[in-house]
Amino acid sequence: MNSAIASTHYSSDDLAAARAGDLAALQRVLVQSRQNLRRYAEYHCNINDTEDAVQESMILVSRRIGDLRVLESFASWLFRIVKRECNRLKRGLRMLTGDAITEDIQPTCSFEPVELRHDVAAALESLPPHYREVILLRDLEGYSIEELAQRLGLNREAAKSRLHRARVLTREYLMPAGSA
């Protein structure tokens, strides 16, 4: 499984061009990815769903590659998409057959109650601006610690410290009164 990820080599020029909208580069990236995706899907999918998972994943990648922020994370992003697609297909089959849907194929994204979203928004709003910014950049925008440090003009340790303090303050805000 990890050997498929490790053996995947993409031209950084092709990835950058595909992300920028170059269809020929996108096609080259997808062609280079296909065999490894298939191998990975064979491991994670029901045998009859392998090709469907690969096809759906490639369609999703072609639509969303422009959203990829860090080119170096392309391979892991690609394999996460395939695994999520395999799990979606497994859930669909189990819903049809009435079999139990186990935790390993539960959806990774679930909708939170509206109240919780309001509480989180209020918690973020209560933070001082420098703490709010670091949480939004890291947890919403997906910045790495290095990117955070560079963006905020801090060293790595200071960025990590600020992020930790922001999360602690947010957690304290969200905890029910009297608990700790």
Q: How high does pLDDT run on average in the chain? A: 81
Q: Tell how many helices (H) and how many strands (E) occur in the chain.
A: 9, 0
* In a domain? residue 180: no
Domain that holds residue 131: 114-174
**The one-letter amino acid at 7:** S
Task: At 119, list the tokens.
Answer: 């509480």
Backbone angles phi, psi at 163, to 5 degrees: -65, -45
**Interatomic CA distance for residues 65 and 68, integer angstroms:** 5
100 and 30, same domain (yes or no): yes
**Interatomic CA distance for residues 93 and 174, integer angstroms:** 38
Which CATH number fits the domain that encloses residue 100?
1.10.1740.10
* In a domain? residue 179: no
46 and 85, same domain (yes or no): yes
Low-confidence ranges of the chain (pLDDT < 70): 1-10, 93-114, 177-180
- Split into its structural domains, the chain has a count of 2
* In a domain? residue 47: yes
pTM of the entire structure? 0.50
